[in-house]
Amino acid sequence: VVLVFTGFVWAAHNKDVLRRMKKRYPTTFVMVVMLASYFLISMFGGVMVFVFGITFPLLLMFIHASLRLRNLKNKLENKMEGIGLKRTPMGIVLDALEQQ
C-alpha cells in the first residue's frame, strides 16, 4: 500500500495533469490508491504475506544481530544472558531455533 501511495504521489508531483486531478478530486485520488492497492494485494496476496509477514522480520532480526557494536556494555549483557539472569528477544528466537 505504501509503494502504491508513493508511486501515485510521485506521479502527481511530476505530471501536471495528475496534479490538477488530485487537487480537483481528492476523494477520487484516495479511491484510486485504495483500488490499486487492493488489486496488488489480491494478485500477490499469499506470497506477500509470507515474505513480509514471516521472512522479512526474521531477516531484519539477523541483520540487526550481526551489525551490533561489541562494547563493554554489550559484553556484560551477553554474560548476564548466558548466566540466565536476562532474556533478550534475539536470545529467545535463537533458543527456539536451537542456535548458540
Domain ranges, ordered by start, for the chain: 1-99
For the whole model, what pTM was predicted? 0.43
CA dist 44 to 1, 40, 50, 57, 80, Å?
12, 6, 10, 19, 44
Tell me what pLDDT residue 47 has: 79
Write the pLDDT tens digit of every residue in 42-57.
Answer: 887 777 778 778 888 8
Give the three cell numbers for residue 54.
Answer: 514471516
pLDDT (tens digit per residue) in 11-67: 888 888 888 888 888 888 888 888 988 888 888 777 777 877 888 888 888 888 887
CB 11 within 8 A of CB 18: yes
Structure confidence at residue 100 as a pLDDT band (50, 70, 90): low
Distance CA 42, CA 1 (A): 12
Distance from C-alpha of 84 to C-alpha of 99, rounded to nearest angstrom: 16
